[in-house]
Each structure stands twice: as C-alpha cells, then as structure tokens.
C-alpha cells in the first residue's frame, strides 16, 4: 500500500488558497482515479482505492499543517508501512 498525504489547513478561510495546495492535489488524484467513500480516521479524511493496480490511501489531515505528522504517524503504524 502507498500512502499519499496532501497537506493543508482546515477551515473555509484556507479553502482554495496556496495553503491548501496539498488538499487540492489529493482531490484531483481521487477524482481522476475514481476514489469514493470518504471516511474520517487518523485525524484525517481518508480515501482508499487503486492507482495502476497498487492499493493507495489518500489522506487530508484535519489538523493544521504543523500537526499533520500525528495523522501520518497513526496511518503508518496502523498499516505497518515503511517510509521507504
């Protein structure tokens, strides 16, 4: 499984700003590859699906950018993913 994390800040004041480019990229990937079924886990919005037959987890942490490591660490631990 591959983990793809788009960083951004929660709140309408950051929507569609440069602060949320990571969120926009994840949205585009999800749309392009047909990911559906948004869930909230690991302090993040999460979608799962396949990209080129590879299982992928798309994440948008719901914490502010400086705390996004919490969401990433939780997902890495749960799925036992290697940083490599």
Catalytic residues: 19
Q: Is residue 78 exposed (0-12), middle (13-18) or buried (19+ Cβ within 10 Å)?
A: exposed
- Torsion angles phi and psi, residue 75, rounded to 5: -65, -45
């Amino acid at each position: 499984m591959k983990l793809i994390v788009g960083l951004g800040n929660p709140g309408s004041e950051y929507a569609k700003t440069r602060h949320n480019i990571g969120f926009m990229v994840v949205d585009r990937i999800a749309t392009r590859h047909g990911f559906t079924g948004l869930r909230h886990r690991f302090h993040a919005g999460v979608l799962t699906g396949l990209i080129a037959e590879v299982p992928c987890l798309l994440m948008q942490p719901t914490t502010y950018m400086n705390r996004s490591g919490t969401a990433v660490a939780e997902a890495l631990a749960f799925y036992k993913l290697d940083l490599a």
